[in-house]
Amino acid sequence: MKWLFLFVVLLNAAFLSWHSFVQDKPEKAKESIYGPPVSEKIHLLTESLAVTEQDYNTGMVSSESIEDALSKVIDEATGDQPELFCPRLETERQEDIKQVSQVLKDFGWPYQEREVTGKRAKFWLYIAAPETPAIAERIVKELASKSIDSFVINRAEMKNRISLGLYSSKERAEQAKLRIQNLSGYRVDVYEHMRNVPLRQIDIEEPIDEKDWEQFVSRFDLTKMMIKLEKNPC
């Protein structure tokens, strides 16, 4: 009986020892079936960056080179296009308007014409008032004999002055002044002032480049015309 009891005790001790050994045995770590792509390199925080300063500068230079090339192409394309403008012509003389209208028709350019009022410089030629109205009348007769048109002014502030005409061009006024002085022997004065006058404006409605504009203007003798030319943006 004593031996049976001892056998049971030893059997229990053996079972406990085996169970404890099984619990303490570590499990084999399972390998992950996932992995990074073969072509992708993973960098740890402690590792230095793979992109060097030289690589960065090379990339910047390449980017700047592309931008410079694109900018150059844009500049060249812009430079090849002629500058366009929509001219305006302005004159107060009917004969100038007729001439401009005819040339515009020859070129086939559409235009719009309108009447406006504006100030223009005028140049009045006159001989200073003599001492008496009788002397003024005598001077007018002398001038008429030399084919010079004139008349005596009767207004108070200009009484007895002898008017010789009104000119729109300073150059023409000076030429007339010298001619009358040489023919008559009297001193001629020029009074420049501004006057409101009716004007005709002609707006060309088609964009024009410099080459076409020069060809158009070459059709006129600007020295004989009272015309104002403007190259306005369209």
Residue 214 is part of a domain; what is its CATH number?
3.30.70.1070
Residue 36 lies in a domain: no
pLDDT at 34: 47
Domain carrying residue 91: 85-232
Composition of the chain by helix, strand, coil, percent to 5: 45, 25, 30
In whole angstroms, give the CA distance from residue 149 to residue 103.
34
In whole angstroms, give the CA distance from residue 123 to residue 183.
20
Residue 25 lies in a domain: no
Q: What is the pLDDT along the chain (234 residues), one digit of tens a residue?
A: 444 555 555 656 665 665 555 555 555 545 544 455 555 555 555 555 555 555 545 555 455 666 665 566 555 555 557 799 999 999 999 999 999 999 999 999 999 999 999 999 999 999 999 999 999 999 999 999 999 999 999 987 889 999 999 998 899 999 999 999 999 999 999 999 999 999 999 999 999 999 999 999 999 998 888 899 999 998
CB 202 within 8 A of CB 89: yes
Residue 166, CA distances (Å) to 72, 121, 148, 198 in order: 57, 10, 13, 16
Tell me the whole-structure pTM to 2 decimals. Answer: 0.52
pLDDT at 27: 52
pLDDT at 226: 86
Tell me how many domains the chain contains: 1
pLDDT at 11: 59
Residue 119's beta-bridge partner residues?
196
- Can you give the C-alpha Rg of the chain in angstroms? 52
